Amino acid sequence: MALIEDLKWRYATKKYSSKRVADKDLEQIVEAINLSASSIGIQPYRLMVIDNQNLKKELGEGSFNSQIVDASHLLVFAAFASIRQEHIDYYIHLISQTRNTPVEELADFKNSISSYLLAQTDADNFIWATKQAYIGLGTGLIAAANLKIDATPMEGFDAGKFNKLLGLEKKNLKSVVILALGYRDEKKDSLANLKKVRLPIQEFSIKVD
């Protein structure tokens, strides 16, 4: 399966060359992420796409992750800070439009997801939304590898600063994980040729009878 080869090929790139990711490749990666599964299908996160060098510099200032500045593009996965009735209503509207189904026929579904999601705290829904974003992150890593584009997923970034610089708060979003995209600088990246470390499959997966 080509997927397995792609997964073996990729690694969390440390040093990037100056080569830029082409727009058409970036579009495919973003489309793949948008097609990722999410619980209930509601996609409670958004993807900020950044290629402005000055902005990347501001975001990466003081960070030990030089990839923020050096990579061609930076994707910021930002989860909904809260889930409100309007989000559910919009999702129902989207289903209705896409499938040509009258909104009335979706009332039971709408009530069921409303009573579930709106009963949870914002903090719980934010964690839930974050998990959905991570499904998208998994997709993004695979899409990039498939195009032989290098990538670095990063959790250790200053989320508060990102939220502020990207104006996320007023969009009801909070940054949760970021993904640098570009091309490895094989000479400078000491990680580029290291063997991938993974659990023996019998330890990772446990057959239960």
Footprint on this chain of a second copy (rule: CB under 8 A)? 1-4, 7-8, 10, 12, 28, 30-37, 39, 41, 43, 46-50, 52, 55, 91, 94-95, 98-99, 127-128, 130-132, 134-139, 141-143, 146-147, 153, 155, 166, 177, 194-199, 201, 203-209
Q: CB 17 → a second copy: shortest distance, Å? A: 21
Pairing of strands 150-154, 45-50: unpaired
Q: How far is the CB of 67 from a second copy (least distance, A)?
A: 14
Nearest to 6 by CA among 148, 157, 105: 148
Q: Which is nearer to a second copy, 72 or 132 (CB)?
A: 132
CA-nearest of 117, 108, 128 to 38 is: 128
Identity of the residue, 37 or 103, whose beta carbon is nearer to a second copy in the bound complex: 37
Q: Write down the least CB distance from residue 117 to a second copy, Å.
A: 12
Residue 177, class by beta-carbon neighbours within 10 Å (0-12 exposed, 13-18 middle, 19+ buried)? Answer: buried
Q: Which is nearer to a second copy, 104 or 204 (CB)?
A: 204
Q: How many Å apart are CA 43 and CA 16, to the nearest integer?
A: 31
Q: Where are the alpha helices (DSSP H) in 36-121?
A: 53-60, 67-70, 85-99, 107-117
Of the pair 83, 143, the CB lying nearest a second copy is at: 143
Answer yes or no: are the C-beta atoms of 27 and 140 closer than 8 Å.
no
State the nearest-atom distance from the C-beta of 95 to a second copy, in Å: 5
